[in-house]
Structure 1
Amino acid sequence: MLKAYFEFEKHQTSTSKEVLAGVTTFLTMAYILVVQPKVLAVDFAGNETGMSPSAILLATCLSAGFASILMGVLARLPIALAPGMGTNYFFVGVVMGIGGMQLTGVAWQQALAIVFVSGILFLIISAVGARQLILNVMSPGLKSAIGVGIGLFIAMIGLKNAGVIHAAPSLVELNLKGLRSADAAVFWSGLFVTLVLMARKLPGSILIGLVVSGVVAASWGKISPTSIVGTPDADTTLLFQLDFSAVITFQGVSWILVFLFMDIFDTTGTLVGVSQQAGLIENGEVPRMNRAMLADSAGTIFGALVGTSTVTSYIESAAGVQQGGRTGLTAVVVGLLFLAAIFLSPLLVALSGYSPLTASALVVVGAMMFRSAAEIDWKDESESIPAFLVILGIPLFFSIGDGIALGLIASPIVKLASRKESDVSITGVVLAGLLIAYYVFVRAT
């Protein structure tokens, strides 16, 4: 029954492959279990926000577990979900106005209500198929470019986490001083083992590389879990604490739109990019896209109810795909592991709290996703220029959504300039206009 529902024969997969892929994806995104409580509980100046770290951890596990399982069962795609990076900083720094990013803000209860409403709008858009229109205005070149851009993005994150590169006045530069550090040893050992095993086409190469990195990290004293299993802290102070008083204000509406746009484009990019990597694209479309949209939006709604920021599809799902994950069972496994993480918090905090440990997996997956560049028609400027802007924009802007938006704005302009009016849809022109207005009048204020 399990094999029939997830179409194992069609996707040439097995239960063991899907479980292995799920474990791999979970390990590459488990860092959110440590990062999310840090981001939401303490501001950039070190002041408490009023949200309990233990309650945030519980909300993170519950929302990621619920959303990932729903994605796996409903959409049957190997894509996991959890509270998103980027939107969590916007939640604290802008909406709550903490950390000096904004002079005025709202209480966390009001911020959660704003996220909740954005999720409801997302659900409505998904239910009526409006978001499919956004995906349909993307040319084949743009869809391929998204996967390439995301690959560069996560590879850049991996290199940054390993200390190989760091921020500099010239954008980024090679961190030569860090080459002899423990972080470098953890990263390069995992990367070397992973590449060797992949070259030999051995299964489980990424996961084995993560284990090697873990062993090296432990030998350097970088990870030292005090225990493996712990009793979960039943801190429910964030559950169902929504305050809708700020939703009807002009500022509240603008924040809702920002959350909505960020989630739409980040999720769209991840769904297209990961599905492209998995070879699941059928007739130019992501299979069961509407169901995937519903799962994603439902995750945000549920996440707000239990006390966390926007839940979104994770680009780290590509790690599981590279490991052989092709069906929703991969996402179900990830969801179950997030729920189990409530009881395994001591071990997971030690592992996921040390970012260089998973850096090698991110770099390898990023390299594999670059294959989609071959599918772009580089001789056709109307395809290649918008595609290039997406590939360039995602890692440089450090935002999947902003990079995709750049391509969507450029695409109809370049095609009209190339006198290819038949390739331009009214929806594409309207979307480009809305995006320009969004960046000029919402994001730029």
Structure 2
Amino acid sequence: MDKLFKLKQNNTNIRTEIVGGVTTFLTMVYIIVVNPAILSSAGVPFNQVFMATVISAVVGTLCMAFFANYPIAIAPGMGMNAYFASVVATQGLSYQVIFGTVFLAGIIFMLLSFTTLRETLIEAIPSSLKFGITSGIGLFIAFLGLKMSGIVVPNETNMVGFGDLHAPGTLLTLAGLFITLILMTWKVKGALFIGMIATGVIGFFTGQLKFAGVVLAPPVPVFFDMDIAGVFSNGLYTIVFAFLLVTIFDTTGTLIGVAEQAGFMKNGKLPRAKAALMADATATTIGSMFGTSPSTAYVESTSGVAAGGRTGLTSVVIAILFAISIFFTPIIGAIANLSAITAPVLIIVGCFMMEGLARIDWKTFDEAFPAFAIILTMPLTSSIATGISIGFITYPLLKLVSGKGKDVHWILYLFGIIFVLQMIFFPAH
């Protein structure tokens, strides 16, 4: 085990890796309930998406474990599933045709992963943008935790307002948050995981966590329920490109965010980047074959890293738990439906990810503003990809007008132009 995952070299052990894997799994397990719910609104059978979600998560996460040796989980991405549903609704086409666009995007994605394009992209992104991306993701997931728990709610006057502290779910979240904060302050190992267990126990005894059974036979997976010919006959090339573009930058941004927090980045480079990037490309392609939207590296992986996970063994644990989950849908559904269990973790991990702010040169405006723009737009638009787009547009522009255009890698100019065109002609909704 130590030779395979280099545990000693990464200053970790089997117990810590298991805790990290369980922690990440518990913070992202909602996807196996939420993803089918979103895609079923586009007409895809719930059980088909459920099995496709688990299959793509297991395949992608195991690829990440054995080929890249990183504690990063892969699963169908939030945001991309909503985009899938909106495309089905607006195009007036069957979901099988749109799965064809996801499949083709996945194939192109895999081919690009064999090249050095995505590695070059990671190395070309300047430090200020990398720290901006990490911090932006931190605010994004912390805000997600606040929304999930009802601590912040929609407000007509100011878009967002303070929630009802008398609501049972909000009270439970606050209880779980303070329990976890105390454990973190005491430097208790596995504090995030223990905090979730404590919150779940309180939820059970207050009647908020209810189990409608324990074990249920898994649904039969459906294979290759797609219409690739329909993609060409309907000329859906821009849809393929949109899925490709969003997946590339969602995953690249998340990988950078998690890698920075875990200390994997070396001189601005991510070791074994090609293997890590191939994992989500494989998951996207396989997932589309069984019936789900594109997969991506999960920002919730930061919770497992915060709990001590440092190697692919953490990812193996996550994959095993996903595989086992197909037999325990009643329990999984109950945990996923009680956001108070996972919301405190997202809020605390968001704090961890703000560390990079201290390393941004705030006195140099053309470095500071693009990072600020990323940090601002990610949580406000609920899109990692949009935040990255804004950063890629503003950074080369400001460098160019300040006479430092030669310091910017050509690939930033290329993607800056692509993002401008994408926002004008193919805006995300």
Smaller-chain TM-score bracket: over 0.9
Q: Provide the residue aligned with 1:309 in structure 2.
A: 293
What whole-Å deviation, never above 9, does each CA across 1:301-345 have from its counterpart, x for those lacking one?
A: 000111111111110000000000111111111111101101111
Query: Contact 2:154 / 2:161 at 8 angstroms: preserved in 1?
Result: no
SS at match of 1:283: coil
Residue 267 of structure 1: CA displacement?
A: 0.3
Contact 1:189 1:212 in 2 (8 A): no
- For residues 68 and 223 of structure 1, the distance between their equivalents in structure 2, rounded to whole angstroms, comes to 28
User: Which deviations, in whole Å up to 9, do the C-alpha atoms of 1:64-92 show, x marking residues without a partner?
Assistant: 11111111111111110111111111111
Pick the aligned partner of 1:86 from 79, 82, 89.
79
Letter of the structure 2 residue corresponding to residue 159 of structure 1: L
Q: Could you say which residue in structure 1 is the equivalent of 2:210?
A: 224
Number of the residue aligned with 1:144: 131
8 A Cα contact 2:19 2:307, kept in partner = yes
Aligned partner (choices 143, 146, 155) of residue 168 of structure 1 = 155
For 1:406-445, what aligned pairs fall within 5 Å after superposition?
406-443=390-427
Shift of 1:250: 6.2
Counterpart of 1:39 in structure 2 is 38
**Corresponding position: 1:76 with 2:75:** no
Q: Is the contact made by 2:123 and 2:268 (CA closer than 8 Å) also made in structure 1?
A: no
SS of 2:236 mapped into structure 1: helix
SS in 1 for 2:232: coil
Shift, 1:444, TM fit: 7.0
* Structure 2 CA distance for aligned equivalents of residues 404 and 164 of structure 1: 27
Give the partner amino acid of 1:230.
L
Task: Quote how far apart the aligned CAs of 1:409 are.
Answer: 0.7
Separation in 2 of the partners of 1:71 and 1:195? 30
**Are 1:391 and 2:384 counterparts?**
no
- 1:256 is paired with a residue whose SS is helix
AA of the residue aligned to 2:81: N
Inter-CA distance 197–256: structure 2 relative to 1 (3 Å threshold): same
Per the normalisation by structure 1, the TM-score is: 0.93
CA displacement, residues 370-403 of structure 1 (integer Å, 9 cap, x when unaligned): 1111111112212111111111111111100110
1:156 counterpart (143, 163, 167): 143
CA distance in 2, matches of 1:416, 1:80: 37
The corresponding residue for 1:258 is 242
Partner residue of 2:6?
A: 7
Deviation per CA, 1:384-436, whole angstroms, max 9, x where unpaired? 11111111111111100110110011111111222223312222212211111
Instruction: Name the CA distance, whole Å, in 2 between partners of 1:151 and 1:194.
Output: 18
Q: Shift in Å at residue 171 of structure 1?
A: 4.7
Change (3 A) 1:172 1:208: farther
Residue ranges of structure 2 left out of the alignment (5+ in a row): none
Of 212, 229, 250, which residue of structure 1 is paired with 2:198?
A: 212
Matched, 1:30 2:29: yes
Contact map agreement 2:113 2:274 (CA 8 A) in 1? yes
The reply to whether residue 353 of structure 1 matches residue 337 of structure 2 is: yes
Distance 1:252 1:29, change over 3 A: same
Mapped pair 1:66 → 2:50: no
Report deviation, 1:227.
2.2
Q: Distance in 2 between matches of 1:394 and 1:420?
A: 27
- Report the counterpart of residue 46 of structure 1 in structure 2: none
1:386 is matched by which residue type in structure 2?
A: P
| Structure 1 stretch displaced more, 144-153 or 208-217 | 208-217
3-state secondary structure, aligned to 2:385: helix
Give 1:32's aligned amino acid.
I
Q: 1:185 aligns with which of 132, 157, 171?
A: 171
CA contact (8 A) 1:114 1:246 kept: no
Partners of 1:444 and 1:29 in 2: how far apart? Answer: 24
Which residue identity is paired with 1:14? N
Task: Give the alignment's TM-score, normalised by structure 2.
Answer: 0.97
- Measure the CA separation in 2 of the matches of 1:170 and 1:164: 17
Q: Report what 1:244 is aligned to.
A: 228
Contact 1:182 1:217 in 2 (8 A): no
Q: 2:186 aligns with which of 194, 200, 217?
A: 200
CA distance in 2, matches of 1:22, 1:172: 36
2: CA distance between counterparts of 1:41 and 1:221? 29
Structure 1 residue 170 displacement after superposition: 4.3
How many residues align? The count is 429
How is 1:91-170 mapped onto 2 (pairs within 5 angstroms)? 91-94=84-87, 96-97=88-89, 102=90, 104-170=91-157
Q: CA deviation at 1:252?
A: 1.2
* Residues 185, 216 of structure 1: 8 Å contact kept: no
Residue 269 of structure 1 pairs with residue 236 of structure 2: no
Q: 1:444 to 1:93 in 2, by over 3 A?
A: closer
Q: How large is the Cα RMSD of the aligned pairs?
A: 1.5
